[in-house]
Chains A and B, each alone.
Chain A
Amino acid sequence: MSDVTTFDLAEQSVRELNQHLHDVEGGSFRVTNPRGAHAVAAGIDADVAVEIDGSVGYYCAGMHQRGTVRIDGNASTGLAENMMSGTVRITGSATMSAGATGHGGLLVVEGNAGARCGISMKGIDIVVGGDVGHMSAFMAQAGTLVVLGDAADDLGDSIYEAEIYVRGSVASLGTDCVEKPVEAEHLAVLTDLLERSGLDADPADFRRYGSARELYNFHVDDIDAELADGGPDEVDAELADGGPDENGAA
């Protein structure tokens, strides 16, 4: 254990910890007494291994790149928000917006995740051992959210191309989110993610949810064009194709 550097947040500041993590190329670190501090290990961009003994506040491992962060405890809002790559794992639970807007990497929440888990996710993979709160994967754009437990209301509201797998119950699906068939390719994705997360579940037990793609474009009527039918009013229809009277939403 001699090659592990310890930061005791009862003695040292989060600023000192983060600056050190930003300055190094690699190494192993242990953080003790986090006592709910915010932005612990935020902005890492190195092949480091960080273990945090205890619970953290907001934005732990925010914007994380490369390296691994492991939290033995619970986390408050925005765990691994906008994560880019690497791995973040928490043994306990995370409150609101875990993995929000994440672009890549793997976030594993062994306990439960609160509301808006994976909100606006953009390529991150999130595996939650327990349940997720309401509005999870809201406006989720890309990546995969796997939930071993249940999902609360409005799952996947306004979802784009992200994929959701839930083993338990779904209280309700949000606008434009629908259940989709699980094919072989999806089972492969699930198998891989479950394996990497180290959480034990049978891929065959999951149901898959994603976008109905009904909200992708505005629905624009054009009665005048229909009536014109090649007549002189056709101009209106032409304008409707990006013209100023139209809102360009054809």
Chain B
Amino acid sequence: MSDQWHLRESYTYDRNVIAEIQRAANTGIYRIRGWGAKRELPTLDDLVVLGASMSRYPLEGYREACGTDVVIGEGRAAKPVRLDIPVTIAGMSFGSLSAQAKEALGRGANAMGTSTTTGDGGMTPEERGHSKTLVYQYLPSRYGMNPDDLRKADAIEVVVGQGAKPGGGGMLLGQKINERVAQMRTLPEGIDQRSACRHPDWTGPDDLEIKITELREITDWQVPIYVKVGAARPYYDTALSVKAGADAVVVDGMQGGTAATQDVFIEHVGIPTIAAIPEATRALRELGVHRGEVKLIAAGGMRSGADVAKAMALGADAVSIGTAALIAIGDNDPRHDEEYRALGSAAGAWDDFQAGNDPAGITTQRPELASRLDPEIAGRRLANYLQVLTLEAQTIARACGKSHLHNLEPEDLAALTVPAAAMAKVPLAGTDWVPGREHLA
């Protein structure tokens, strides 16, 4: 039996912790990686949906209409964004992704009538061509930002922050800065590029209001303007975004994916999506714009139709997906397992989006790898996946008796854990106890 004691591993210093200390001691630099938080966090799985019973009427699962569309920017923008499904493709830059991957995202989104989003690095003509509805990100770095592309966009998203790194800027390491990427960003090839984390010409919500007006003036008030924030203080950030004139607020929880960020940032900064959505919703409600003038788009760890339905029940009008979309088009595919293993990882664990050596050809700028991804096939896979998310969300909504996804409400939810009940502000299952309710307005 004594052997067993010699093999006892520490809870505090588990193998991952030991490996990280050793890695740090060897290299003298923090770990940078892609993906999102990997540690256990409260998620939407900690909530369950209360299907209809005696006091509520369900809808027929396959037949009765259950609307899924969402309109953003009605009232202010001459051309509001109209989406058939409430699942959008999140901003991921050309640079972090290959041109083929961007094309696949466009194709999949088009097929399902939803939008894609540019990223930190500007808009490529191919991307514009392959996306019927394209949201153009306005980031602190302003890489590749220009008025011609701004006028080509179907919506503009002012990025204040990202769930994986609220308070941090973008990052693209040298091995992904090839000639084209360098040129688009006006940077030397091969540098480890760290984007600005603050906007260069505005600080605070009062300035942002003027900035949004400027963007509307430049684009002649044609398209909606979103504000994206990393979830840290979502109640205040949402309220201030509304005050600044946003048509939509994108709240990205700490599980949110990234192309390259310090691990310490990914795992320790921000709050989980389940905690962020209700706070953002509360702000919108108090300002009288919820499910109305200003839409809420929730992101960070959206994986299934259940997540979509729960996010919407908590108050989101739509969700946005990054990591799941990449998985759908081929990221972490077991087909590449041998190659992932040659890189010291495995299919299902690979997160080196920053490294530029993606066997799936998605997070790379190397032509020989990128050409492995067939944009048409990958686009079909994404469309299928989006279809499933929609069908699943409808299944849940119908079970709750809702004829539109946006009729889902917090009353349709219960929590499995006390923390989830407190964060989501819904009762612990089997009780009417919402921890902290007495402090709510």
Contacts and interface: CB of A to CB of B under 8 A. Distances in A.
Nearest to B195: A139
Contact of A116 (B31, B200, B218, B344): B200
A116 B199 CA distance: 11
A244 B201 contact: no
Contact of B32 (A78, A138, A221, A247): A247
A65 B26 contact: no
Interface of A: 14-15, 18-19, 22, 38-39, 42-43, 45, 57-59, 62-63, 65, 77-78, 81-82, 84, 96-97, 100-101, 103, 116, 119-120, 122-123, 138-139, 141-142, 160-161, 216-224, 236, 239-240, 242-249
B210 A103 contact: no
Interface centre among B29, B148, B186 (most CB of A within 10 A): B186
Nearest to B23: A245
By secondary structure, the A interface counts as loop
B175 A221 contact: no
B291 interface: no
Nearest to A223: B26
20 contacts: A14-B217, A39-B213, A39-B218, A43-B147, A43-B217, A59-B201, A63-B147, A78-B211, A116-B201, A119-B201, A120-B200, A139-B196, A219-B28, A223-B25, A223-B26, A244-B344, A247-B30, A247-B33, A247-B354, A249-B192
Interface centre among A18, A58, A63, A77 (most CB of B within 10 A): A63
Nearest to A62: B214
Contact of B202 (A45, A78, A122, A224): A78
B355 interface: yes
By secondary structure, the B interface counts as loop
Interface residues of B, number: 53
Contacts of B60: none
B33 A221 contact: no
A221 B200 contact: no
B43 to A, nearest CB: 25
B303 interface: no
Interface centre among A161, A222, A247 (most CB of B within 10 A): A247
B26 A63 contact: no
A220 B28 contact: yes
A249 B28 contact: no
Contacts, number: 166
Interface string B420-441: 0000000000000000000000
A247 B200 CA distance: 28
Given A58-B210, A59-B210, A239 B344 contact: yes
Contact of A217 (B27, B174, B214): B174
B200 A222 contact: no
Interface string B211-224: 10110011111000
Contacts of A38: 210, 213-214
B312 to A, nearest CB: 35
Contacts of B196: 120, 139
Contacts of A219: 28-29
Contact of A242 (B31, B175, B218): B175
Interface centre among A18, A82, A217, A236 (most CB of B within 10 A): A82
Nearest to A14: B217
Interface stretch (B92-100, B138-146, B270-278, B294-302): B138-146
B352 A244 contact: yes
Given A116-B200, A120-B141, A219-B29, 13 more contacts: A38-B213, A43-B219, A58-B214, A62-B217, A63-B150, A119-B201, A120-B196, A216-B192, A242-B343, A244-B343, A247-B33, A248-B173, A248-B352
